[in-house]
Structure 1
């Protein structure tokens, strides 16, 4: 059965959004571990919780860790594979194929069986090599059914009712995931700008304790930061020509200011929860050399960027000339408007795992908090400009987009400063270099995936930002 399932998975996995090896042939796929999940069992407390969560079902579910070899590189992925003699219509879109045990399918989408995850976390159960744990003192209602969120690329998140969200880390990297590490530490400090953690799933992978899933509070009444920003941009585009962004009903600047202050508080909490350090001018110069290598690599792939290289090198030169140490600490690492939610009372920051494609040691590495600031500034530019791609009035609306971006960038920086963050003097030099290095990465991404968005990161090399200060 295993060999047949492996053959089916090799053909199926390449079409999944979370599969990182698209475009490369699979030379080998193997099931490293297969753990049956207890959907039925004796009348003990854990099994009673499972029965209450899953109800009566004829499905069998196994937790799989599979290894995929491509071009001499091996990656691990996590799956919940279900088996049913008859596959309901609602699950046919996640069918893997037919096996001697029945139809195999991606059981993360089956709300009749996913309750086992919540029940196991609530019970602190051990299921074979899998360990389910919960935060001290929490109570978990195991009755809600799950729904898969559809927007994610690299992971799969299950929302249970309006209370919990459980993120399955599809690509498995041995070690404790930074999201569990950071959010747990911040929660212990009572940090206000995070979603409450409830529990996690782990196992030993390649000899290391490895995070497989993480469950947090689901912010049912919150609004996504990207969606809020786009509402404001559309409001500006729909207003009368000549109307300043400050006079438009959907003005976002006050929220950008609050988000900046929340970001500063978050950085303060992270600095208190984890070690900090300083890097000397020699190490700053090494950082700059890394920026130059990224820029040169981007130019080799997207020659159009070469015409803007002088602006980047000038910014890098100014940073290399600084003769003072730079403070570094734990940071978010992948900070943008899609990573923040506005609740009725405050901004909440999500997804502390960093860039999923990077090694864990890099995601945990100390860095300047201004890297997060730079990421958010780039996100404001994207929010303002991406609607112009293919727009019939792009030429007329471009100045309005630039006005919106600059107003909200300034408001965010002002809020960050008001919240205790530091961006002045030499800090502005570092921020500019970080932003252009990020834009070089974006140029390559857009050239590969969304060529019509390429003008957005290219504009970063043409626009010289105003000095940091309060929003108008």
Structure 2
């Protein structure tokens, strides 16, 4: 019997007894025994959001043995944990950030999994066992696909499926993402595992499902997903844990395509135009699928107040921004003035973090948009709130500028042509050119550039001149 087949047999035999054992003394004693290992391992992970602040403790939200250790201890166990990491100065997350961990447990770790090792448990119910990052283990990865192939519940976990999924697809771990983790199955599907999780539907599941119902082919439709219902979820909403979508085989990342264009001296205008049209089609479908509340005077005032607040906070943190604050404020004041005249706009759900790296072009030239999670650092309710579509447009315009600035020598004409082509393509798809409301476009691009200045100053100081060049332009621009 193959390893994958034996995993499926073990899975079928263990389902009933897992549910019975999920709240016993074994589970109660589990977290204290793992805490020393988690203290060392968790802050080093790329997807850990609390870097720079010490972890003061952990609390267990839920524990599920998806695959219990066999009695002989020869095969792996898979332990699914939802754990809160407590840190100082987390006023926005009073109870600590909640993380999803998929931990493999073995008596002896094979050499091929050495890099995934977390450590050996010294006491508690897993004493003497070796703990490791389970997603690196093909047998564990195969088990996750089996769970998604067979909808149902397992303790607090619920697995749902929108279409049949074939078995026997070889898994491979993608070691490229920052805020999540992904597995590819046979170049047919990609499973995104959300690491930092929140009560409520994750937009990366919610919006692609809505777009699928509208027949929009610009976003891969979810094939399966899993969620958790936990006792400490005050809202009663489930936590989205993972989404399985078609893997766009042969597709190329928009950011890499843009850099290749710059490096070869080739124009990127046709691609930018097609990408603008693709964005417009997604916006149109989202507006048809979900509510589009009016952004009237009071809401406009709230929108501008948030932009001003972010500008002032960034200026306090980055002194280089201070001389430009008065000029940048005029961009926001212009939107306020429009609100005073009675202007209103239709808000809707949008991508929320659109840039070239969130796009894929297939071998046939067809553009797709991916990663609808929004900015992971923002609270989930904010990411799920309706926004003006121009927010996505501004994000993409800034991305063209970043691409041009990353090339030596800087090619501002390339960025200008791409920006114009993108807006023209958007107008072709939506019927409205985003440049026809220059006050809105300038304000949102300014807000995005301010965010970039703060990010680069904190994380990549060498890149700070990129957004600062935009700040200088935007501070002296009139709508």
Q: Tell me, yes or no, whether TM beats 0.5.
A: yes
Q: Choose from 48, 52, 67 the match for 2:84.
A: 67
Matched residue pairs, number? 429
CA contact (8 A) 2:435 2:441 kept: no
CA contact (8 A) 1:375 1:435 kept: yes
3-state SS in 2 of match to 1:9? helix
Q: Choose from 346, 350, 354 the match for 2:374.
A: 354
Structure 1 Cα separation of the partners of residues 327 and 275 of structure 2: 29
Structure-to-structure mapping, 1:97-112, within 5 angstroms: 97-99=119-121, 100-112=127-139
Over residues 71-127 of structure 1, what are the superposed CA-to-partner deviations in whole Å (9 max), with x where a residue is unaligned?
Answer: 164111001111112212221112111022411001011112111111111111322
Q: CA deviation at 1:66?
A: 0.9
CA distance 1:193–1:292, shift in 2 (3 Å): same
Structure 2 Cα separation of the partners of residues 346 and 421 of structure 1: 20
CA contact (8 A) 1:6 1:31 kept: no
Q: Choose from 273, 277, 288 the match for 2:289.
A: 273
Over residues 212-254 of structure 1, what are the superposed CA-to-partner deviations in whole Å (9 max), with x where a residue is unaligned?
Answer: 1111000011111111011011123xxxxxxxxxxxxx21110
Q: Tell me, yes or no, if structure 1 residue 373 matches structure 2 residue 390.
A: no
CA contact (8 A) 1:165 1:215 kept: yes
Q: CA deviation at 1:6?
A: 1.8
Over residues 252-273 of structure 1, what are the superposed CA-to-partner deviations in whole Å (9 max), with x where a residue is unaligned?
Answer: 1100000001111110000000
3-state SS in 1 of match to 2:392? helix
Partner of 1:428: 438
Over residues 282-319 of structure 1, what are the superposed CA-to-partner deviations in whole Å (9 max), with x where a residue is unaligned?
Answer: 43233222211111111100010112223312222222
CA contact (8 A) 1:311 1:461 kept: no
Q: CA deviation at 1:29?
A: 1.3
3-state SS in 2 of match to 1:213? strand
CA contact (8 A) 2:274 2:422 kept: yes
Where does the alignment leave 5 or more consecutive residues of structure 1 unmatched?
42-55, 237-249, 389-396
Structure 1 Cα separation of the partners of residues 315 and 478 of structure 2: 28
Q: Which moved more, 1:64-73 or 1:12-21?
A: 64-73
CA distance 1:381–1:425, shift in 2 (3 Å): closer
Q: Which moved more, 1:189-198 or 1:424-433?
A: 424-433
Where does the alignment leave 5 or more consecutive residues of structure 2 unmatched?
1-28, 122-126
3-state SS in 1 of match to 2:473? coil
Q: Choose from 167, 187, 192 the match for 2:212.
A: 187
Structure 2 Cα separation of the partners of residues 415 and 425 of structure 1: 12
Structure 1 Cα separation of the partners of residues 305 and 157 of structure 2: 43
Partner of 2:111: 89
Q: Choose from 292, 312, 316 the match for 2:308.
A: 292
CA distance 1:466–1:190, shift in 2 (3 Å): farther
Structure-to-structure mapping, 1:246-261, within 5 angstroms: 250-261=266-277
Structure 1 Cα separation of the partners of residues 385 and 433 of structure 2: 21
Structure 1 Cα separation of the partners of residues 397 and 437 of structure 2: 15
Over residues 390-415 of structure 1, what are the superposed CA-to-partner deviations in whole Å (9 max), with x where a residue is unaligned?
Answer: xxxxxxx23xx211111101110010
CA distance 1:264–1:314, shift in 2 (3 Å): same
Q: Which moved more, 1:256-265 or 1:203-212?
A: 203-212
TM-score (norm: length of structure 1): 0.87
CA contact (8 A) 1:39 1:113 kept: no
Q: Tell me, yes or no, if structure 1 residue 328 matches structure 2 residue 353.
A: no
Q: Which moved more, 1:404-413 or 1:316-325?
A: 316-325
Over residues 330-361 of structure 1, what are the superposed CA-to-partner deviations in whole Å (9 max), with x where a residue is unaligned?
Answer: 11101011111001241111111111121221
TM-score (norm: length of structure 2): 0.86
Partner of 1:177: 202
Q: CA deviation at 1:421?
A: 4.6
Q: Choose from 9, 12, 20 the match for 2:38.
A: 9
Structure 2 Cα separation of the partners of residues 379 and 425 of structure 1: 17
Structure 2 Cα separation of the partners of residues 223 and 299 of structure 1: 37
